[in-house]
Amino acid sequence: MIAFDFDYYKPRTAEEAARLFKQADAEGKQPLYYGGGTEIISMARMNQLRTGAVIDFKSIPECNVLQTKEGKLTIGAAITLKRLEDEMELFPLLGATVRDVADHSIRCKATIGSHLCGKFYFREGLLPFLLVDSEAVLVGPEGRRTVPISQILNGEPCLGKGELLVQVISSERLFGMPYCTVKKTKMERIDYPIVRIAALRTEQGVRIAFSGVSDIPFRSRELENILNNNSMPLNERIERVVQAWPAPILDDLLASAPYRTFVLKNTLSETMTALERRRV
Ligand SMILES: Cc1cc2nc3c(=O)[nH]c(=O)nc-3n(C[C@H](O)[C@H](O)[C@H](O)COP(=O)(O)OP(=O)(O)OC[C@H]3O[C@@H](n4cnc5c(N)ncnc54)[C@H](O)[C@@H]3O)c2cc1C
């Protein structure tokens, strides 16, 4: 049960959604954008979240686009993780990454827009977008803008107040490159990641992004440069990556920091070895 009342809005355009957000915010309702509701409902039931208004973006046509045109894949924010898994030929690395996020019933409801912008910090589905330099289309009270996804979601999300993520646009140029996506959990296949790595091998070297190790998902050029320095043996590169790690390594109920570091090193070795075997 959710122990509070809230207004429900169903706008038909992104601009209307942003207007409703601004209005509800001015009325002190602490509005939230609403996709599949899996996160909002589970947090509200546990009294970890309170809101006076939700703005459901699932009826906005541009949030429901899933199309390839002129070498670009456009994914609307309302597309579910399950659909990206089912249509994984569109963006294989993305499909392979989201297919083991949460369980089947959550994936059938959870939308990619909310997965990228919600409060759960794992955001495993973000990693493929960081690797192919995707762009995010945002609409907020100040208008519409298109920015590199790395500018607003690499690490701590930094969307403007009331901004709705409407679409993610990715060039298909790198979709055919060899990839590897690995999730390590504490025990079960379906659980939060202790370590999630997604990586792509391009002509210029390996691109790699991480989730679960720290309380932000991220891609780091500094770590990529270390891993691509083939003058060093792989185990030395991995040691250097851990030394240069840009955020504290989590130490929690899922895993201690030393254990996470151990799993990180092994998963990095597995990923790099798998990619080095495959030709571009
Ligand atoms: C039981 C459970 C297990 C999970 N396991 C994992 C896991 O293993 N790995 C992982 O990475 N994640 C995991 N998650 C997180 C999950 O992937 C996201 O919570 C989910 O995808 C959110 O989707 P939703 O559409 O249901 O979000 P909603 O509940 O609709 O919205 C979530 C939040 O995002 C904000 N928001 C939503 N859409 C937008 C938008 N378009 N623009 C701006 N802000 C927006 C909302 O304001 C809201 O606060 C898990 C979640 C649950 C509940």
Rounded to the nearest angstrom, the distance between the alpha carbon of 277 and the centre of ligand 1 is 35
**Residue 43 burial by Cβ neighbours in a 10 Å radius (0-12, 13-18, 19+):** middle
Burial 165-200 (b: 16+ CB within 10 A, else e): bbbbbbeeebbebbbbbbbbbeeeeeebbbbbbbbb
The verdict on pTM exceeding 0.95 is yes
Q: Is any ligand 1 atom within 6 A of the Cβ of residue 165? A: yes
3: confidence class by pLDDT, cuts 50, 70, 90: confident
Average pLDDT in the 240-268 region?
97
Which residue puts its alpha carbon closest to atom 44 of ligand 1? 117
pLDDT at residue 276 in the model: 83
Distance CA 267, CA 185 (A): 12
Rounded to the nearest angstrom, the distance between the alpha carbon of 25 and the centre of ligand 1 is 21
Neighbours of 42 (CB within 10 A): 13
Residue 276 or 18, more confident:
18
2: confidence class by pLDDT, cuts 50, 70, 90: confident
Q: Is any ligand 1 atom within 6 A of the Cβ of residue 256? A: no
pLDDT at residue 187 in the model: 81
pLDDT digits (tens, 9 = 90+) for 193-221: 999 999 999 999 999 999 999 999 999 99
Q: Is any ligand 1 atom within 6 A of the Cβ of residue 37? A: yes
147 pLDDT exceeds 80?
Answer: yes
pLDDT at residue 105 in the model: 96
Which residue puts its alpha carbon closest to atom 18 of ligand 1? 115
Please state, rounded to an integer, the average pLDDT across all residues of the chain: 96
pLDDT digits (tens, 9 = 90+) for 9-56: 999 999 999 999 999 999 999 999 999 999 999 999 999 999 999 999
pLDDT at residue 181 in the model: 97
Atom of ligand 1 nearest to the CA of 124: 11
pLDDT digits (tens, 9 = 90+) for 70-129: 999 999 999 999 999 999 999 999 999 999 999 999 999 999 999 999 999 999 999 999
Distance CA 203, CA 33 (A): 39
279: confidence class by pLDDT, cuts 50, 70, 90: low
Distance CA 149, CA 164 (A): 13
CA 169 to chain centre: 14
189: confidence class by pLDDT, cuts 50, 70, 90: confident
Q: Is any ligand 1 atom within 6 A of the Cβ of residue 40? A: yes
Q: Which of 6, 15, 29, 39 to mutate to test the pocket of ligand 1 (most atoms within 8 A of CB)?
A: 39
Which residue puts its alpha carbon closest to atom 14 of ligand 1? 102
Q: Is any ligand 1 atom within 6 A of the Cβ of residue 206? A: no
pLDDT at residue 177 in the model: 96
Residue 280 or 169, more confident:
169
Q: Which of 29, 59, 114 to mutate to test the pocket of ligand 1 (most atoms within 8 A of CB)?
A: 114
Percentage of the chain exceeding pLDDT 90: 95
- The rounded radius of gyration (Å) of the Cα atoms in the chain is 19
Q: Which of 20, 97, 106 to mutate to test the pocket of ligand 1 (most atoms within 8 A of CB)?
A: 106
Q: Is any ligand 1 atom within 6 A of the Cβ of residue 38? A: yes
Q: Is any ligand 1 atom within 6 A of the Cβ of residue 32? A: yes
pLDDT at residue 188 in the model: 77
280 pLDDT exceeds 70?
Answer: no
